[in-house]
Chain A
Amino acid sequence: MTDTAPETPPGPAPAPPPDSARSSGAADGEDRRGIRLIEVTKRYPGQRAPAVDRVSLTIPGGEIVVLLGPSGSGKTTLMRLINRLIEPTSGTIVVAGRDALGLDPTELRRHIGYVIQNAGLFPHMTVAANIGLVPRMLKWDRRRTAARVDELLELVDLDPGAFRGRYPRELSGGQQQRVGVARALAADPPALLMDEPFGAVDPITREHLQDSLLRLQEELRKTIVFVTHDIDEALKLGDRIAILGEGSRIAQYGTPQEILLDPADAYVERFAGGGRATRPLRFCRVGDVPLRAVPEAAPGDDAAAVRERIGAAGTGFAVVLDEARRPLRWLFSEDLAGVSGPVGERGSPSAEPLRTRDTLQQALERLIQIDRECVPVVGARGAYQGTVTLATLQKALREMRERARTRRPDTARTVDTARTVDTAAGTEET
């Protein structure tokens, strides 16, 4: 609690589960891509209270850190200090290991991606010209820029052939936002600043864009600072969340679990809001909870052997996988009664599988919608990982609650260095 040294690494990092974007990695290589604000203050002339008051914040490399707060909490100001669209009055800002205040601001900004609400695309330039702006400023030649533009359009799920030559007004809001993200990624910057990027699109598109961002992040592992006032968006996207109060005071800085299950004060609790019993469903991912193990079988397996495996596991059914380990069907012991030879096409088709990055809420919805008590879970390239049932969800929620209970008040705080390291400076001195 008293340790405010910014050098302290943010807690012991648990080994990230494979196929999950939600790790709190602070390995050496990643730290060099991180962003650090140390005692940063911004005072506007003629205003008594500083807009940003001695804020210290460490954003670990390769993570999404969400700045969450009501309007007027200075979250956008705090973000703009990082790329020096706003010059700090005092303090130190380190971006990817370099002192940001010692660099030429335009040069600094070319190496930090910037995405704003409504995408901010230049209407008089084609999609390709918009995306190619930063590479061209960095003196890439035409051919390399064009190749990069196509690559980025593919990356954000837009067909280069169809979209390259279009103008922004010919795109939907969601497509514009995708182009905005592509433009920010153009020169492959280590860090990305996103200022309420999905604030102005409809809820369905927003959900879609959030999922795309998470998928991109699995691949790219950028250091992302994301500003929003939407708690659900913060819980969904953030590896960590910084809840800001007045003067950019950091009320709490922690993982979504910590914010929801162990709010630092009444302000955070009010912000986290109601429905706390079901909220964990919305940010916890299927890949993060223990899945149910079910016997596996291939279409070529002998029916008797599979029957035996089902009996031994006591599950009453097995899952049939193809050569790429993609789930095909459920195979119940009744299906196999008196059958000899390979199991072949027997069994009943399984539901559309869940992905490890889906939330528990999506899992619950799927379970309620389909006419079965279990849904297969797949990871990268659709490979089977395990099975989710209602009991799996219940158990996961119970465990989460228990963890929070043991962690509650002071006993937990001293252990929980990950959170206190960076909040101490912000909370105690204001």
Chain B
Amino acid sequence: MSFWEYLGDRRELLVFETWQHASMVFQTVLAALVIGVAAGIAVHRSERLATLATGAAGVAFTVPSLALLGLLITPLGLGVAPSVTALTLYSLLPIVRNTVVGLTGVDRTLVEAARGIGMTRAAVLLRIELPLAWPVILTGVRVATQLAMGVGAIAAYVSGPGLGEQIFSGLARLGGANALNMTLAGTLGIVLLALLFDGCFVVVGRLTTPRGIRD
């Protein structure tokens, strides 16, 4: 069976798995965005806390993804739960780090000016600091998404959803019928998804970055 025949034959399954993969990445990155930005906001005013937070996220990052998934089986079992947890953890690092970097990079005189004209702390954060840090945060989210795409494939190891299943099944029966086709379909699907998501980020970036600070 040629690759194209394979694609035609398994179309429904492949579309379903692609959709699952995209949905999983989207949701985990969204969760990481909320948690990461909140954490970044909470720690960025204190240098020590900021170092601690990025450090902790960095440590989580050094754990190999396969090992992390394996470790998560004990508390969370197989399937969606460990996959989503692992992906969220991985996505956190670039988001937390970029939130801290973005927020501390905001010109202090602007914050002073904002307070000087009578903005409350919350208003300074929401209307001045976050919008100015947004391009940096968005870059972090973009990196996190690419990361989640790749790690998402390995989630199949704990019976997670997504295209990883194609790759793992293919690799398990190398030399057998359709083994190459399966691996290829899974890999290409992820690459295409990654490109698609990245394109979306370019659009989102343009739409959400005010003209005054766009490059």
Contact = CB atoms under 8 A, between A and B. Distances in A.
A114 B212 contact: no
A346 interface: no
B131 A107 contact: no
B110 interface: yes
B212 A134 contact: no
A106 B118 contact: yes
B113 interface: yes
A116 interface: yes
Given A123-B132, A124-B132, A167-B211, A116 B112 contact: yes
Given A85-B112, A116-B113, A120-B113, A125 B118 contact: no
B109 interface: yes
Contacts of A193: 116
A109 to B, nearest CB: 4
B117 A114 contact: yes
A120 B112 contact: yes
Contacts of B131: 124
B213 A123 contact: yes
A110 B118 contact: yes
Given A106-B120, A167-B212, A122 B115 contact: no
Contacts of B212: 123-126, 167-169
A118 B109 contact: yes
Given A107-B118, A134-B118, A120 B213 contact: no
Given A125-B210, A167-B212, A169-B212, A120 B119 contact: no
B80 interface: no
A137 interface: yes
B125 interface: no
A183 interface: yes
A126 B210 CA distance: 9
Nearest to A113: B117
Interface in B149-173: none
Contacts of B113: 114, 116, 120, 122
Interface residues of B, number: 19
Contacts of B118: 106-111, 134, 137
B30 interface: no
B152 to A, nearest CB: 34
B110 A122 contact: yes
Contacts of A125: 210, 212
B116 A109 contact: yes
Contacts, number: 63
Contacts of A58: none
Interface string A158-194: 0000000001110000000000000110000000010
B114 interface: yes
B157 to A, nearest CB: 44
Contacts of A183: 117
A364 interface: no
Interface in A383-401: none
A220 B212 CA distance: 31
Please indicate which of the listed interface residues A113, A118, A124 has the most CB atoms of chain B within 10 Å of its own CB. Answer: A124
Contact of B116 (A107, A114, A126): A114
A133 B127 CA distance: 10
Interface string A123-161: 111100000011001000000000000000000000000
A195 to B, nearest CB: 9
Nearest to A195: B116
Contacts of B132: 122-124
A83 interface: yes
A116 B115 CA distance: 12
Interface string B96-126: 0000000000000110111111111001000
A166 to B, nearest CB: 9
A133 B123 CA distance: 11
Given A123-B132, A124-B132, A85 B210 contact: no
B122 to A, nearest CB: 10
Interface string A265-288: 000000000000000000000000
B128 interface: yes
Nearest to B109: A120
B116 A83 contact: yes
B131 to A, nearest CB: 5
Interface in A56-88: 83, 85
Interface string A232-249: 000000000000000000
A224 to B, nearest CB: 15
Contacts of A110: 117-118
Nearest to B212: A167
B98 to A, nearest CB: 17
Contact of B128 (A116, A118, A122, A167): A122
B211 A116 contact: no
A85 to B, nearest CB: 6
Contacts of A168: 212
Nearest to B132: A124
A186 B29 CA distance: 42
A249 B30 CA distance: 55
Contacts of A106: 118-120
Nearest to B128: A122
Contacts of B109: 116-118, 120
A184 B118 CA distance: 11
A85 B211 contact: no
10 contacts: A85-B115, A85-B116, A116-B109, A116-B113, A117-B109, A120-B112, A123-B213, A126-B212, A133-B119, A167-B210
Given A111-B118, A120-B109, 17 more contacts: A83-B116, A85-B112, A85-B115, A106-B119, A109-B116, A109-B118, A114-B116, A116-B113, A118-B109, A122-B128, A124-B131, A124-B212, A125-B212, A126-B212, A137-B119, A169-B212, A193-B116
Interface pairs A-B: 9 shortest CB-CB? A120-B113, A167-B212, A110-B118, A109-B118, A114-B116, A124-B210, A106-B118, A124-B212, A124-B213
